[in-house]
Homo-oligomer: A and B are copies of this chain.
Amino acid sequence: MICHSFDDIMRMEKRFRTCFVNCLSGVKSPVLLGSQDDNGCTNLAIMSSVFHVGANPPLLGTIIRPHSVPRHSLENIIETGVYTLNHVTVDFFEDAHQTAARYDKDMSEFDAVGLDPIYRNDFPAPFVKQSPLSLGMSLQERQTLSINQTELIIGKIEWVYARPDLIETDGYISFESLGGVGVVGLDSYHMLQALSRLPYAKPKVVH
């Protein structure tokens, strides 16, 4: 095994370290965060740090870096209290990735990359029409993590919009049917191939 200590990591060239450390959390689902300011100026930003916080009530967390592209998203979330999370498929992951470019605030990434905003149930944030699984979120908690000044955002799931065939009889959502992708690091996209669903684990000595 190759071994890298904390000090080794801190001495790595900046881009190498960014790439390396971003891979260590493994594969994640990229999602497009849709938001708008009080004037209706829309923003769309790809994120890959959405994580489960709870099912009852349904909560998701997101980490936003202090000076990253999604700062427009963060400003909009704080201004309006709402945002959308839209899962990305193999059909539009390249357009989704392009939202990471540093566009000016008055250039909507929807227009820049060619994805379509859609409004549903009077929810005041734009969904991505191309996404087969989208969530309408309301901001519940925001805190700046003292350790590195990243922003932790916790949102409540207000709306779930899903293509009808995706939800199975026990509540499971097939990401293989959805054409969902996974991202490793900042730029490496993967397709998902279902292996198996394992039964609920009960105590036993296996070996």
Which residues on A are within 8 Å of B, measured CB to CB? 1-6, 9-10, 12, 14-29, 31, 48-61, 63, 65, 87, 90, 93-95, 97-104, 107, 111-114, 120-121, 132-133, 135, 140-141, 145-148, 150, 152, 154, 156-164, 167, 170-173, 175-176, 180-182, 184-185, 187-207
Contact = CB atoms under 8 A, between A and B. Distances in A.
Given A51-B63, A97-B201, A135 B3 contact: no
B55 A17 contact: yes
Contacts of A17: 55-56, 58, 171
Contacts of A161: 1-3
Query: In this complex, which of A98, A154, A200 has the most chain B Cβ atoms within 10 angstroms of its Cβ?
Result: A98
B2 A167 contact: yes
Contacts of A63: 51-53, 61
A171 B94 contact: no
Contact of A191 (B150, B180, B195): B195
A156 B21 CA distance: 11
Contact of A26 (B53, B55, B170, B175): B175
A40 B192 CA distance: 38
Contact of A184 (B20, B48, B94, B173): B173
Nearest to A111: B205
B203 A101 contact: yes
